[in-house]
Amino acid sequence: MAAEYGTVVNAENVVAVGYGDFGTKSSEVRAKMAKRLAESVRAALADADLPGTVERRWARILVETDETDPVAEVIATLPGVVWARPAVLTDATVDAVRDALRTLSTERGHGSDESFAVESRRVGPPSAHPFSSRDLKVEGGSAVQAGTDAPVDLDHPDRTYRVEVRDDEAFVSAVQMDGPGGLPLGTQGRAVVLLSGGIDSPVAAWRMMRRGCSVAPVYVDLGDYGGADHRARATEVATTLLRRAPDEDVRLHVVPGGEVVQAVVDELHDTRMLSLRRAMLAAGEAVAREVGAHSVVTGESLGQKSSQTGANLAATDAAVSLPVHRPLLTADKTDIVEEARALGTFSDSTLPVGCERVAPSHPETNATVEAVEAAEPDDLLSMAREAAADRSVVDLEP
């Protein structure tokens, strides 16, 4: 069918990658971030064993490849990517754009009952091209219609074709894969993430990654209160996160926390969970200082558990001097679960381990730092720091 309409002039298969959040920064910072994103793209394609030549051009990253759809899918998982579009690169003429649109609509099986719209963007002074962006929409729309008989719907189209013209080239695409946005990974330093095998902390880790922060995941092995299943789940979610950090050295730091938990259980009651969190933060901070991280991240959210009231979070933070970031502080559980599902880290199996077994029947909900410190064994935080020094570092297989 496609041959009937002629082949696309000078067509090359590409994936065009759009990035957004750093578009407003100075040209120097923008160039640095785009370079970093291009490196991530290159590494992600190598990890996925997909071919592609990556190039930075204008405010885009272009990947020349024969496998446009799988390549775009992989790229759309990376922090900093707003969209990835499989596209044909053709001449910046109305005829070439018409040909490309007609061919794409046929190749992509556009049915006559599917409405569509053509969006267009033309960059450059009016004199640069003998047509306007509106001409591209009108002419492009009629080309799609001629091949498909499909109706135009500019408000709620089933399909959106996109044309972008710059200088003497046009990108024409029929599909867009939305990325997470944010900033390229590695542009915002490194943070330690206290990563349990639960639902929340992987989402918190991802939110930091999405804003460009490299992460060092730390799992505290709870000894008799934990278990192999719990640790395996933490390893699994860390591995899932690592796939979105293709050129980063992400390893799981496993801190042996059995003695710390036992001390908390033996010596404390109402404030147990608070002291356990404080010990975890102290261990996280110790790792952070070793791996050059600027902060410690947790998956806590305000009021989600008794240990997560505003007062209790304040008493927890007093255990460390590095900043503690809680990207989920104001998030609802239903939204966190949805995000975890999209991320691929959600597990609905509940393991009878850890916090459930340590939690007291009447937990403190309105702690003061003084009261928590007074009840806590004097050496608890130093025990946690020593445990951090004894940690093992586990390589993760993507």
Residue 304 contacts ligand ATP per CB under 6 A: yes
Give me the least distance between CB of 342 and ligand ATP, in Å please.
16
CA distance 168 to 217: 47
CA distance 152 to 149: 10
Contact pick of 200, 248, 373, 376 for ligand ATP (by CB under 6 A) = 200
Site string for ligand ATP, 55-74 (x = CB under 6 A): --------------------
Residue 327 contacts ligand ATP per CB under 6 A: no
Residue 201 contacts ligand ATP per CB under 6 A: yes
Structure tokens at 129: 């091209």
Structure tokens at 214: 């490299």
Give me the least distance between CB of 353 and ligand ATP, in Å please.
9
Annotated binding site for ATP: 194-195, 277, 299, 308
Cβ 201 vs Cβ 193: under 8 Å: yes
Annotated binding site: 194-195, 277, 299, 308
Contact pick of 5, 161, 171, 219 for ligand ATP (by CB under 6 A) = 219
List alpha helices for 4-132, DSSP H: 27-47, 68-75, 94-107
Q: Which residues pair with 159 in a beta bridge?
A: 116
Query: Nearer Cβ to ligand ATP, position 359 or 375?
Result: 359
Which distant-in-sequence residues (6+ apart) come within 8 Å of 255 by Cβ? Answer: 218, 219, 220, 221, 283, 287, 384, 387, 388, 390, 391
Query: Nearer Cβ to ligand ATP, position 223 or 377?
Result: 223
Q: By CB under 6 A, what part of segment 355-384 binds ligand ATP?
A: 355
Q: By CB under 6 A, what part of segment 275-294 binds ligand ATP?
A: 280
Sign of the four-CA dihedral 8, 9, 15, 19? negative
Q: By CB under 6 A, what part of segment 221-260 binds ligand ATP?
A: 222
Give me the least distance between CB of 61 and ligand ATP, in Å please.
33
Query: Nearer Cβ to ligand ATP, position 48 or 254?
Result: 254
Structure tokens at 370: 């003084």
Site string for ligand ATP, 142-181 (x = CB under 6 A): ----------------------------------------
Give me the least distance between CB of 5 and ligand ATP, in Å please.
54
In Å, the largest CA–CA distance within the chain is: 83
Contact pick of 105, 148, 196, 309 for ligand ATP (by CB under 6 A) = 196
CA distance 157 to 348: 36
Residue 339 contacts ligand ATP per CB under 6 A: no
Give me the least distance between CB of 287 and ligand ATP, in Å please.
11
Structure tokens at 221: 């092995």
Burial letters for 50-72: b for 16+ Cβ neighbours within 10 Å, e otherwise?
bebebeeeeebbbbbbebbebbb
Residue 320 contacts ligand ATP per CB under 6 A: no
Query: Nearer Cβ to ligand ATP, position 157 or 227?
Result: 227
Cβ 89 vs Cβ 70: under 8 Å: no
Give me the least distance between CB of 359 and ligand ATP, in Å please.
9
Q: How many residues does the chain have?
A: 398
Cβ 64 vs Cβ 13: under 8 Å: yes
Residue 194 contacts ligand ATP per CB under 6 A: yes
Contact pick of 62, 97, 199, 320 for ligand ATP (by CB under 6 A) = 199
Give me the least distance between CB of 184 and ligand ATP, in Å please.
24
Half-sphere exposure of 398 (CA within 13 A, CB side): 16
Half-sphere exposure of 269 (CA within 13 A, CB side): 2
Site residues (vs ligand ATP, CB under 6 A): 194-196, 198-201, 218-220, 222, 280, 298-300, 304-305, 307, 354-355
